[in-house]
Structure 1
Amino acid sequence: MDNDAEPIRFETKIAVLLRDDLASWQRLNVTAFLVSGIAASTPELVGEPYEDADGTRYLPMFRQPVLVFEGAKEFMTTAHQRALGRGLTVSIFTQDLFATGNDRDNRAVVKAVRQGQLDLVGLALHGPKNAVDKILKGARMHP
């Protein structure tokens, strides 16, 4: 039997890392796109639908918090390499994606650039807490 008074603990972490030179609208847009990749690839992270007291139903959301960090352009590359080195899959957003307008073109502009040359402006990852913490060591919480 679950105790509703017990704090809920998570063994994993969902985190988004944004480049610190993005405009506000870009930060929001990039975050939305990045977390959609996490939700799509890890459906067990998504909880049950919501319902208000009137019975109106709402879409389900992640069952755990999403932490948002920021870092310099150089740190984006470091975090990306750390994540790949630890075997975590990540969602990425590159500078080139701001110039496209659909999924086909988005995938094409990423495909055209070698991994080490990606101009990353954001990435999102999900994994064990300690791995995510080590990957993001040096980043700061988004203000």
Structure 2
Amino acid sequence: MTGFTTKIAVLLRDDLLGWQRLNVTAFLVSGLAVADPNLIGEPYRDGGDVEYLPMFRQPVLVFQGGKELLTTAHSRALSRDVRLSIFTSDLFTTGHDAANRAAVRAVPTTSLDLVGLALHGPRNAVDKILKGASMHP
């Protein structure tokens, strides 16, 4: 990962099922892509000249930690003004975007039952926010 002054990271709660980890990660990183179009590279093209969608310009690191760590990381990110996407346990029971937003809106910030978050920011800031997390196996 040398050469990058920023870091893209996902933090998942360590008690999620396999399918939940994948689902949460996919939803979370979509928010980062929209928030900063400069994170996205150029489209890909294969040898047959078929074009594919562009992806992030830099690696996405995935971490895990307990419920308390997610709450702490969330607070750290907010205090450092680092924009982030979140996924709460309530979102496993909703069926569409409007219901997802309503479920998050219904809960005070300090009471969110976070199961995942994603952020992009300066490497040092992201490292401090994720302090105590371990790399996802």
**TM bucket by the smaller chain?**
over 0.9
TM superposition shift of 1:23: 0.1
Which residue number in structure 1 is paired with residue 116 of structure 2?
A: 122
> Does 1:33 find its partner at 2:27?
yes
SS in 2 for 1:30: helix
Which residue number in structure 2 is paired with residue 59 of structure 1?
A: 53
Unpaired stretches in structure 2, ≥5 consecutive residues: none
Larger radius of gyration: 1
Please give the TM-score of this superposition, normalised by the length of structure 2.
0.98
> Does 1:139 find its partner at 2:111?
no
Instruction: After the TM superposition, list the runs of 4 or more consecutive aligned residues in structure 1 that deviate by more than 3 angstroms.
Output: none
TM superposition shift of 1:114: 0.1
Which residue number in structure 1 is paired with residue 75 of structure 2?
A: 81
Please give the TM-score of this superposition, normalised by the length of structure 1.
0.94
TM superposition shift of 1:138: 0.3
Of 35, 43, 47, the match for 2:41: 47
Distance 2:117 2:131 in 1: 14
State the identity %: 70
SS in 2 for 1:127: strand
Which residue number in structure 1 is paired with residue 16 of structure 2?
A: 22
Residue type at the aligned position of 1:109: A
TM superposition shift of 1:14: 0.2
